[in-house]
């Protein structure tokens, strides 16, 4: 999409989890973006959090304190 | 065989669908349409099918004659429909939330909607923002990159000036045209389809 940069998505069990995770990441000044779950990942109606590659490691560490199952995938 | 089609007064995609159907039995078709969108769609259909075309303008109407050596017995009408589906579509953001019920959920849904709109193959002609919808256009909304993509695709972005003043976000808007009620109403009036998420 932009300048060939790799994006990752954080998949969580429900929209409530996504809302909570977004708040946590914004408070931690992590650049993130809510997008629909890509069709290639799931045909269900859902939202997920998109990250830039350089934020993946930090995000994983932050979110593992609040969530049990975090699935971060390359978009 | 030579055929004639009078497609005046028909909404998109009817003129092009009628033409496509007649291309199965006629190798020369004269079509009269009353709008440029229909004309362009028929031209695209003709050249996509390897047919030649010639058009003339007479008053408010366009006359186009298409000719082909081979009858068109295959190909889906679906393919043609997609070529006109985005034209005349206006998306109206009257709120920064999608739907009514839970505002927090509505905010999340709206972010996903704007992203989908920006990355979709078919772009609307115009997007209008008013009331709290204008907040989507301001820095920090989480969707300004998507709004920039819409702008780069040539989508007209009309942002209610009264609302921008009310929310005091004039200095946070980087993309779009600060607009007024006249333009907003006229755009809605002339649109083929209004979408209000």
- Distance CA(A3)–CA(B82), nearest Å, equals 28
Q: How far is A12 from chain B (nearest CA, A)?
A: 14
Of the CATH numbers 3.30.450, 3.40.50, 3.30.1490, 3.30.70, which one belongs to the domain with range A7-74?
Answer: 3.30.70
> What phi and psi, each to the nearest 5 degrees, are found at residue B193?
-155, 135
Distance of CA A53 to the CA centre of its chain: 11
Please tell me the pTM assigned to this model.
0.68
Nearest by CB: B142 against A18, A34, A36: A34
- Distance CA(A71)–CA(A51), nearest Å, equals 13
Q: Where are the beta strands (DSSP E) in B84-140?
A: 89-93, 126-129
Interface check B115 vs A, CB under 8 A = yes
pLDDT digits (tens, 9 = 90+) for A54-67: 999 999 999 999 99
CB B82 within 8 A of CB B41: no
Nearest by CB: A36 against B116, B142, B145: B116
Asked whether residue B80 carries a pLDDT value surpassing 70, the answer given is: no
Helix (H, G, I), strand (E, B) or coil at B134: helix
Domain regions of chain A by residue span:
7-74
Q: Which two tokens stand for residue B100?
A: 């009514």
Complex ipTM value? 0.81
Q: Which two tokens stand for residue B99?
A: 């739907």
Chain A residues with beta carbon closer than 8 angstroms to that of B112: 34-36, 47
Q: What is the structure's pLDDT at A1?
A: 45
Considering only alpha carbons, which residue of chain B is nearest residue A21?
B108
Pairwise CB contact (< 8 Å): B142 & A33: yes
pLDDT digits (tens, 9 = 90+) for B19-72: 988 999 999 999 999 887 788 888 888 888 889 999 888 888 999 999 998 777
Nearest by CB: B108 against A1, A2, A15: A15
- Distance CA(B51)–CA(B59), nearest Å, equals 26
- Distance CA(B169)–CA(B163), nearest Å, equals 9
Q: How far is B175 from chain A (nearest CA, A)?
A: 18
């Amino acid at each position: 999409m932009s300048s060939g940069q790799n994006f990752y998505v954080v998949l969580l069990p429900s929209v409530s989890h996504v809302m909570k995770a977004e708040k946590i990441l914004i408070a931690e000044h992590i650049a993130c973006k809510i997008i629909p779950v890509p069709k290639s990942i799931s045909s269900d109606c859902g939202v997920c959090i998109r990250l830039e590659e350089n934020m993946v490691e930090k995000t994983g560490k932050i979110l593992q304190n609040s969530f049990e199952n975090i699935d971060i995938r390359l978009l | 065989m030579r055929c004639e089609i009078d497609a005046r007064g028909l909404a998109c995609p009817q003129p092009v669908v009628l033409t496509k159907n007649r291309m199965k039995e006629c190798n020369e078709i004269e079509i009269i349409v009353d709008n440029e969108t229909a004309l362009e769609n028929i031209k695209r259909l003709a050249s996509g099918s390897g047919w030649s075309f010639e058009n003339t303008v007479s008053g408010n109407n366009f006359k186009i004659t298409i000719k082909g050596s081979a009858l068109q017995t295959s190909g889906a009408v679906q393919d043609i429909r997609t070529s006109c589906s985005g034209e005349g579509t206006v998306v109206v953001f009257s709120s920064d939330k999608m739907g009514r019920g839970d505002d927090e959920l509505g905010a999340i849904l709206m972010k996903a909607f704007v992203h989908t709109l920006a990355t979709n193959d078919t772009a609307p002609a115009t997007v209008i923002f008013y009331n709290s919808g204008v907040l989507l256009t301001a820095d920090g909304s989480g969707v300004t990159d998507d709004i920039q993509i819409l702008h780069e695709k040539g989508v007209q972005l009309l942002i209610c000036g009264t609302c921008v003043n009310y929310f005091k976000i004039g200095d946070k808007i980087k993309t779009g045209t600060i607009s007024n009620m006249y333009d907003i109403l006229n755009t809605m009036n002339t649109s083929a389809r209004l979408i209000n998420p």
